[in-house]
Every structure is written in C-alpha cells, then in structure tokens.
Amino acid sequence: MSGQKARRTDWYALSWRVPLIVWQGLFFVGPLLFMIAMSFFIVKNYRMEAAFDWGNWIKTLGRPIFWDSYFLTLRLAFGATILTTLFAFPASFFLSFHASETFRRWAVFFLIIPFFTSYLVRIFAWQVILAQQGVINAGLSLFGLGPYTMLNTMFGTMIGYLTLCLPLAVILQTFALNGVDRRLVEAAHNLGCGKFHTIFAVILPLAKTGFVVAAVFCFILSFGDFVAPYYLGGSKPPTLSIMIIDTSKSGQQWPRAAVVALMMIVTLMGVAFSAIAYAYRRRR
C-alpha cells in the first residue's frame, strides 16, 4: 500500500510540473535547438538553405569586431550590475530596517509601477531629459553650466540600464534583507560591533543569496538589452544585441546572427549558474 501511495504522489506531483515542462519545451528548448541548427545553415542568393557548415562560426568568431563587441557588452553589463547594486542597497536597507511596514508596502508598490509602462517609452523620455537642449542641460544653464553631451554616450547607456534594473534590484534586495534575523543583528551590537561592521559582517552574509540573485537579474537584463545602447548610447560601438540586428539585415545573414545569439546565451548561462552556485554555497 505504501508503494502505491508513493507512486500516486509522484504522479500527482508530476501533473503540476507538466505545464512548466511543456512551456519550456515549446518556447525555450525548441527555439534554442532550431537556433543551433540555423547557425550551420548557409545563405545563397539571400535565401537560407539547410546545411551543416561551420563557416558561420569560423567567420563570426574570427572577426575582431565580434570580440570587441563581446567584451564591450560584458564590461557594460558588469558595470551596470555593480552600479545598480550600489545604488539599490541604501534604498533597500532603509526600507528593510528603518521604514515602517506601511511605508515599505507603498514603496514596493511604487517600485512596481514602472513595469506597468513600456520600457521603450521610458527610454524615449530619457532622450528628452538627456538631450543637448534637454531638461538637465536647461537646469544647469541657470547656474552657468553646460551644455554637456549626455546622449549617445556610455553615460546614456548606463542611465538606460539603471532605468531597466534599479527598481527590480531594490525590490529583490529588500525582500532579502527582510529575511535577516534581527536577533543576530542585535547580538552583534551587544557584542560591540559597530553599525557599518555589522552590515558587512552580519547582514550582507545573511542576505547574500538575495543580493546575488538580484545582481544576476541585472546582468542578464543589461547584457541582452538592445534599447538602451541603441537609443541612448548611439549604437557606436555596437553591443552584441545591436550586432544581431545589423547582421540579420546584412544580406539576410540569419545564421551568423544565430551564432552571436548563441554566444550570448552561453555567456549568460555560464554567469548565471556560477553566480547561483556561489549564492547557495554553504560557508564552512
């Protein structure tokens, strides 16, 4: 009887996993396998033909411009992740340790509101703000400063990445800090640990998992973003996402664009799995 019951429980548990398995198979595994196969196709007379040719990989990975874009995208994504984490921490620390429960709920609500609007619309709004005759330069001109070039620069790209990632990072960090046992913080204070030392010795290690997950989300969103580097960064030099667009438009070279996309996926999976393994690694 116990064996039959266990078998029945397994089928019951599996039934709840089937929708997720089907969803991942249809919209992730299937397209990914097709993209891998397409990377070996050849293009003749602007038409793709099924083949098994390593030429796309050799030509794409053998071009210096690809590696320039690859390392540029890595630097921008890591830079955006670090900036987002640093900017989000003071806000999340205040919400978790100093704000009332009512204030924290309203703050999280207002942090979620930006996701109700299109990210592209928010980027266009930043174009108006950062333009040569935009809002910021108009305000600085009152003090005899400027105008400064902020649009079509790395600074503009970072502003776009922060617009995309900062609200999410604050929310995830706040939830992570809410899970910190306050008794351990009080014990640290009673043992003579200062406020800043408590943050680095007690609070951050206890909230490490949530902070790493927030950083991973920031890296993934920044690494694959096309809108910010294109509309605020000027697309010069191109990131990998912009390179995919340019490659697919250049003679219908979808197979080479697939190579670039697969390199992005491999990089994202490597960073994500490494970060998650570090986040859940137990301290000795």
Note the pLDDT tens digit of each residue in 7-52: 555 777 777 888 888 888 888 888 899 999 999 998 888 788 888 8
Q: Where are the beta strands (DSSP E) in 32-156?
A: 42-44, 47-49
Q: What is the pLDDT of residue 231?
A: 93
Task: Give the contacts of 50 (CB within 8 A, at least 6 positions apart).
Answer: 37, 41
The CB-based long-range contact list for 147-151 (8 Å cut-off, 24+ gap) reads 151/127, 151/232, 151/234
Please report, for the chain, how many H helices and E strands are present, in that order: 15, 2
Backbone φ and ψ for 44, nearest 5 degrees, come out as: -130, 125
CA dihedral over 113, 124, 155, 215, signed as positive or negative = positive
Which residue type is seen at 83? L
Which string of b and e fits 151-178 if b means at least 16 CB within 10 Å?
bbeeebbbbbbbbbbbbbbbbbbbbbbe
Token pair of 280, please? Answer: 């859940």
Would you say 187 and 181 are in contact if contact means Cβ atoms under 8 Å apart?
no
Which string of b and e fits 100-115 if b means at least 16 CB within 10 Å?
eeeebeebeeebeeee
Sequence length of the chain is 284
What is this structure's pTM? 0.89
Tens of each residue's pLDDT in the chain, 284 residues = 445 554 555 777 777 888 888 888 888 888 899 999 999 998 888 788 888 889 899 999 999 999 999 999 999 999 999 999 999 999 999 999 999 999 999 999 999 998 888 899 999 999 999 998 888 999 988 888 878 889 999 999 999 999 999 999 999 999 999 999 899 999 988 888 888 889 989 999 999 999 999 999 999 999 999 999 999 998 888 999 999 999 888 777 899 999 999 999 999 999 999 999 988 877 65
Cα–Cα nearest to 170, from 261, 224, 99, 235: 99
From residue 241, alpha-carbon distances to 10, 165, 208, 259, 263 in Å are: 42, 17, 30, 12, 11
Would you say 169 and 84 are in contact if contact means Cβ atoms under 8 Å apart?
yes
Say how many C-beta atoms besides its own lie within 10 A of residue 26's C-beta: 10
pLDDT tens-place string over residues 187-203: 988 888 888 889 989 99
The distance between the two most distant Cα atoms of the chain, rounded to a whole number of Å, is 85
